[in-house]
Amino acid sequence: MAESVNEQNRRWCFADQLGPHFLDDPAQAVLLIESRAVFQRRRFHRRKAHLVLSALRHRAAELGEQALFLQTRTYREALDQVHGPVSVCQPTSWQADRFVRSLPAVQVLPARGFCTSREAFDEWAKNQRTLLMENFYRTARRRFDLLMDGDDPVQGRWNFDADNREPAPKDRQQLGIPPPWRPTEDEIDERVRADLNRWERDGDVSFVGNDGPREFPVTATEAQSALQVFLRDRLPHFGPHEDAILAGDPFMAHSLLSAPMNLGLLDPLDCAYAAEDAFRSGQAPLASVEGYIRQLIGWRDYIWHVYWHFGYGYRRRNALRAHGALPDWFAELDADAVQAHCLRDVLAQVRDHGWVHHIPRLMVLSNYAMQRGWHPGAVADWFHRCFVDGYDWVMVANVIGMAQHADGGLMATKPYAAGGAYINRMSDYCGPCQYRPSERVGDRACPFTGGYWWFLARNCEQLAGNRRMTQPLAGLRRLKDLDDVVAQQQDLGGTPP
């Protein structure tokens, strides 16, 4: 607790604004609200519910009497108990932003927890023909003087992505690097788990996924410890296999910092400068450091700004007219119902951890959903609820725009659709699988390979004007067994592959 609490302007911090950088000074009075209605409205992953509530309650315990911590059914019920001026940094969802701006007694401040401001992004965007992430990233590199030698990028290269696409090692089941940081649970974690158990027994809430020991930081101190372990032990190995998958090593060399960062426990710009320091001091190679910094000041910020730039209606875009419902086995994380090795393993990881890294998200889960023609809004909602780092701003742009190509190309220049050959090249899944990535028809046909051609056949007219799809569509026209492929995929329906 601060020695002298400044109560002149109490700062309301949402559960994803829990770091010290959301306060104007260390002694500022704080308002924290735990709303049970948030968990009653949607079926979140059990691990996500535990993580968020644990982080919120840990922050309240840290602040002591400096924080007014209210546990109510709704935010409005809590706000009725608050007297005096309240300020809040811009929330991270359209719904929450509209809500706080409807409250006359609440002052809404600019967003924090991101690198580029909304004003700076809008100034950049108005001079762009298309909002290419790479152009935004280079502008951010210059603005923040990250990995720069004067006006030029270090070693003359902006992007080392081509060096960071090595496939999964063929000679081992794990990368063989030090493990990520892991927390030790405490009494607050135990109380959160007991409350969640009671709420479920009482029928107040319902979750998906399996519970288990907490795996991610819930305080700024824990998050800093996790960051230091990543910088020291894992960042040097991050780049080369950034896009690879090993069934026996789900975490590879990834930072696992997206969850605490999206809780507001880490400042992304601070993390970017710390990674640059690792390169400058010779502790990590440039390709790995550049790849990580690109995720922070490039992709993460870009996704945040796309969410606001294209407006609330962006979530309803459905350029490929995909209207299929998520089947129960997928929605309920029933990995045991699936035979396809890659999809079974990735879905099990989501069920048991609420997390997989970006390539299983994009090229296994999202790829399969797009091939099947599931409604993009439902897919985005599933990712939001089922991932510990999933929030509205994260998943609307990532899923609607990039993963499902539902925005018609506002974000990605082509659909991220791929057959089994890609998964075979970048992972070790296909060897023990009963399906063969080279086969598209028959009992051994890979559901991703057949699904890829079915996706192109369904959407060939919509994609015909896309120059990057010229070669895939030409391949589609050469298929002699296309009718058989389509018929087999249609027969599968929503059954697990």
pLDDT tens readout for residues 241-300? 999 999 999 999 999 999 999 999 999 999 999 999 999 999 999 999 999 999 999 999
pLDDT at 21: 97
Burial class (CB in 10 A: 0-12, 13-18, 19+), 6: middle
> Distance between CA 212 and CA 183 in Å, rounded?
12
- The secondary element (H helix, E strand) that includes residue 278 is helix 268-280
Say whether pLDDT at 6 is over 70: no
The backbone region for 264, taken as left when phi is positive above 0, alpha when psi lies in -120 to 50, beta otherwise, is left
Paired tokens of 67: 């924080």
Tell me the C-alpha to C-alpha distance, in Å, between residue 93 and each of 64, 119, 228, 304. Answer: 28, 17, 30, 10
Residue 28, SS3 per DSSP: strand
Quick one: pLDDT band at residue 162, thresholds 50, 70, 90?
Answer: confident
Domains of the chain: residue spans and CATH: 10-109 (3.40.50.620), 118-181+217-310 (1.25.40.80), 314-492 (1.10.579.10)
Phi/psi of residue 466, nearest 5 degrees: -90, 115
Residue 197, SS3 per DSSP: helix
Quick one: pLDDT band at residue 354, thresholds 50, 70, 90?
Answer: very high
pLDDT in tens, 384-432: 999 999 999 999 999 999 999 999 999 888 999 999 999 999 999 999 9
Say whether pLDDT at 17 is over 70: yes
Average pLDDT over residues 488-493: 88
Say whether pLDDT at 1 is over 50: no
Say whether pLDDT at 2 is over 80: no
> Distance between CA 389 and CA 485 in Å, rounded?
37
pLDDT at 168: 86
pLDDT at 9: 87
Say whether pLDDT at 3 is over 60: no
Say whether pLDDT at 7 is over 70: no
> Distance between CA 115 and CA 144 in Å, rounded?
9
Quick one: pLDDT band at residue 4, thresholds 50, 70, 90?
Answer: low
Q: Say which residue the tokens 């997390």 belong to.
A: 355
Paired tokens of 259: 């969850």
> Distance between CA 292 and CA 496 in Å, rounded?
35
